[in-house]
Structure 1
Amino acid sequence: MAMPTDVGIIDTMVGFPKPDRREVYKFLAPHLRDKESLEEFRFPAQYMFKDVPPDLEDNVDPVAVVVDNLDRFGIDKAMIGVGPGRDDADRALKDFPDRFIPSASVDPNQGMDAVRFLVEMHERYGIKAATTFPAGVQVPINDKRYYPIYAKCVELDIPIFVCAGVPGPRVPMAPQKVELIDEVCWFFPELRFVMRHGAEPWTDLAVKLMLKWPNLYYSTSAFAPRHYPRAIIDYANTRGADKIIYAGYFPAGLTYDRIFAELPGVPFDDEVWPKFLRDNAARVLKIDQ
């Protein structure tokens, strides 16, 4: 049950520190109503986290900060978001092409523009995944607006990482009910669908659905290892060793120091660790092939 130190970890959720992280979450403003979220929080789910990584100091290179963290903690590759306004990601991919995996965030409210954007990002960057935040855009996981995006992911042969469960930001949770995933997996059996951000409080249902659908997966993004749901750990140690994928939450809410101080305490079986830390992500993202 000891965590190995020679795996070459793939982290499926990494960002770049900013001088003011509130800029990153501007897209949420139309859906926020409470004063703390609108005026006080540095990021919308701040109330849920302690020891949040600091904002970037002046004259500090954000790419260098991330690469230093990857090196210190044995992370071989990190999945990052690319697209307009993400200059740090552009530079990271140019300077360290073997360290970063490009992905693109899509908003189904944009209709066919979202589909065209996905194609553009695939042609320009060779993205390995799409990502989306249903509660952030207030579109349910199984809404018809998502279907063209799911179809395009199948055509491009890339997975989609989708936030599921009660969201941290104070926006309505209904778009992220885990039960909605069932219909999507039924209609798109070729789609590789990865749940993000916990799926709580429906983790038992998430496990049931992963048992049911071959191409449904779960990533541990936004959870400190000491808070990984017990249902997910038990599933990984039994029938789900190939379904659970490591993801951190740096620098949004967790430091790597905290993650890797707690990670060895997760009671995964020996054979689960390399799959969790690297192999499952490599297979779903179709890298190392």
Structure 2
Amino acid sequence: MIEFIDVHVHLRTGDKARLEADPYVISNPEGLSDHPDAMAEMYRELNGMAVVFDIDDETRTGLKVSNAEIAEWVAKYPDVFIGFGSVDPWKGKAAITEVERCADLGLRGIKFHPSVQDFAPNDPRFDPLWETCQRLGLAILLHTGTTMAAAGQPGGGGIRLDYGRPIPYIDDIAARFPELRIIMAHPAWPWHEEQLAILRHKPNVYMDLSGWAPKYIPQTVIQYANSLIQDKVFFGSDFPMLTPHRWLREFADLPLKDTVRPKILRDNAARFFGLQLNDQ
């Protein structure tokens, strides 16, 4: 029986698969393998599923990723993996073509990291991306809040944190593309209050709780997840930065209603992806 759906899991492809570690992901301290075969086995043992993706930031890093490889891993482990593609928004028409190819590959959404990819999501020049995703029924997963990518490097590696701010960037997109399903990745600290406002105001916007050990999630996020936005919040770990083991252990200690806990762990994501699980 599937007990949880982790909507935020990094899988390295293309050039990144040949690196010792993803330069933008802090390896998990428990030392668990991030090889897709090992990840599939880990989630299967935990009775979970995982949304897997890479991040196409070739303009910034020169590293190529492969959405085809994501699709291949999903085909190999369809009982465990749900696939998202990723495109570099600076590739223009090629990015649009790649979004369309992701849909043809059976991927369910597209992952973006505005701070790492160095773009303002609400810039009108990127509207064709959102229009294409909306037309094809592909969800988008957008990083929000601060990031540990390049943290501590001179100038933060040139990464601008403000591109992860929910207002105006996410709010503008949600308003202009009301049929586009948007997941805000992570509690958007230090702008999590803006994030909560969008979740209350825009029916097409959701959030995941990835990247934060549950005991550190801002209290207002927990309060709203336990009440007003309980149907719009997903479990996410951010593996391999944070393991699902630790996240699930700490999540069990949060002061959540018994009716809310299964929604966050599984039911909200199952409904979002149209999954018919055995016991539902």
* TM-score normalised by the chain length of structure 1: 0.80
Q: Spell out structure 1 runs of 4+ moving beyond 6 A.
A: none
2:3 to 5, 8, 12: 8
* Residues 109, 250 of structure 1: alpha-carbon distance in 2 compared, 3 angstrom cutoff: same
Residue of structure 2 equivalent to 1:196? 185
When the two chains are superposed, the root-mean-square deviation of aligned CA atoms in Å is 2.5
Matches for 1:11-30 after TM superposition, within 5 Å = 11-16=6-11, 20-22=19-21, 24-25=22-23
What amino acid is the match of 2:201?
K
Alignment length (residue pairs): 255
Q: Secondary structure at the match of 2:252?
A: helix
Residue of structure 2 equivalent to 1:150? 130
* TM-score normalised by the chain length of structure 2: 0.82
Higher relative contact order, structure no. (Cα contacts within 8 Å, ≥ 6 residues apart):
1
* Residues 118, 80 of structure 1: alpha-carbon distance in 2 compared, 3 angstrom cutoff: same
2:78 to 94, 97, 106: 97
Aligned equivalents of 2:113 and 2:216: distance in 1? 21
* Residues 86, 182 of structure 1: alpha-carbon distance in 2 compared, 3 angstrom cutoff: closer
Residue of structure 2 equivalent to 1:28? none
TM-superposed deviation, 1:90: 4.7
Aligned equivalents of 1:141 and 1:216: distance in 2? 15
TM-superposed deviation, 1:13: 1.4
* Residues 256, 88 of structure 1: alpha-carbon distance in 2 compared, 3 angstrom cutoff: farther
Aligned equivalents of 1:15 and 1:165: distance in 2? 18
Pick which of 131-140 and 95-104 moved more.
95-104
- Structure 2: runs of 5+ lacking an equivalent: 57-64, 150-155
Q: Secondary structure at the match of 1:13?
A: strand
Q: Kindly provide the CA deviation profile for residues 50-82 of structure 1, in whole angstroms up to 9, marking residues without a partner as x.
A: x534375xxxx923311221123221x211127
Is the Cα contact below 8 Å between 2:67 and 2:86 reproduced in 1?
A: no
TM-superposed deviation, 1:45: 6.0
- Structure 1: runs of 5+ lacking an equivalent: 1-5, 26-43
* Residues 55, 255 of structure 1: alpha-carbon distance in 2 compared, 3 angstrom cutoff: closer
Identity rate of aligned residues, in percent?
A: 27
1:79 to 46, 51, 55: 51
2:247 to 246, 249, 259: 259
- 2:117 maps to 1:132: no
TM-superposed deviation, 1:282: 2.0
Q: Kindly provide the CA deviation profile for residues 193-245 of structure 1, in whole angstroms up to 9, marking residues without a partner as x.
A: 11013211111111111111111111011111212221111111111111111
Aligned equivalents of 1:204 and 1:184: distance in 2? 18
Residue of structure 1 equivalent to 2:59? none
Is the Cα contact below 8 Å between 1:159 and 1:194 reproduced in 2?
A: yes
Is the Cα contact below 8 Å between 1:164 and 1:199 reproduced in 2?
A: yes
Matches for 1:199-218 after TM superposition, within 5 Å = 199-218=188-207
Q: Kindly provide the CA deviation profile for residues 176-195 of structure 1, in whole angstroms up to 9, marking residues without a partner as x.
A: 22212221111111111110
